[in-house]
């Protein structure tokens, strides 16, 4: 198996952990000790290291009842794996928000070194329920990093 195929398989398993298993500690274990997750719309709160990535995802994801996740395409080039996908967030109060993403990941030694998420923050903030927005607002930038 080529390294690009191995990287693609790793990222496919990663997405399953995020959206199906929702095991954020397992998600963190995909990251190198100095691996970085950058939500491009809010770059000042990048998370560095497995525990910080897991914590950041927990803050936003745990209150969501369930997710559906559709991968539209995944492209590999060298150590990069680029995924065009849609996360659909289903809230227990009935709201449903479809969020288109492009995620760019750099994989080295079978670990994620860098994950950059490109998406429109307004799509989420304009459609998420008020209670979820209030939940997010109780955290500081440092809590997300």
pLDDT of residue 144: 80
* Distance (Å, whole) CA 63 – CA 78: 36
Q: How far is CA 110 from CA 5, 15, 32, in A?
A: 11, 15, 9
pLDDT of residue 145: 76
Q: Is 67 exposed, middle or buried (0-12, 13-18, 19+ CB in 10 A)?
A: middle
**The two three-digit tokens of residue 105, written as one number:** 């990941």
Q: Which domains does the chain have, with CATH numbers?
A: 3-144 (3.10.450.50)
Beta bridge partners of 118: 102
* Distance (Å, whole) CA 143 – CA 59: 9
* Distance (Å, whole) CA 132 – CA 76: 35
pLDDT single digits (tens) 72-83: 999 999 999 999
pLDDT single digits (tens) 82-91: 999 999 999 9
Residue 80: count of CB within 10 angstroms of its CB? 14
C-alpha atoms less than 13 angstroms from C-alpha of 52 in its C-beta half-sphere: 18
pLDDT of residue 51: 97
pLDDT single digits (tens) 30-46: 999 999 999 999 868 79
User: Phi-psi bin for 69: left (phi > 0), alpha (psi -120 to 50), beta?
Assistant: beta
What's the mean pLDDT when you consider all of the chain?
Answer: 95
Beta bridge partners of 84: 73, 102
* Distance (Å, whole) CA 103 – CA 130: 27
Residues of the chain with pLDDT under 50: none
pLDDT of residue 37: 97
**Residue (of 16, 36, 38) closest to 27 by Cα position:** 16
């Amino acid at each position: 198996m080529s390294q690009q195929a191995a990287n693609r398989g790793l990222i496919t398993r990663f997405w399953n952990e995020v959206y199906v298993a929702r095991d954020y500690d397992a998600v963190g274990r995909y990251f190198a000790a100095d691996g970085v997750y950058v939500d491009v719309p809010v770059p000042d709160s990048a998370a560095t290291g497995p525990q910080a990535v897991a914590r950041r995802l927990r803050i936003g994801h745990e209150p969501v009842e369930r997710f559906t996740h559709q991968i539209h395409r995944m492209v590999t080039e060298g150590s990069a794996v680029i995924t065009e996908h849609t996360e659909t967030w289903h809230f227990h109060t009935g709201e449903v928000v479809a969020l288109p993403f492009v995620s760019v990941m750099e994989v080295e030694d079978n670990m994620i070194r860098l994950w950059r998420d490109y998406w429109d923050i307004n799509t989420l903030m304009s459609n998420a329920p008020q209670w979820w927005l209030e939940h997010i607002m109780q955290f500081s930038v440092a809590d997300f990093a």
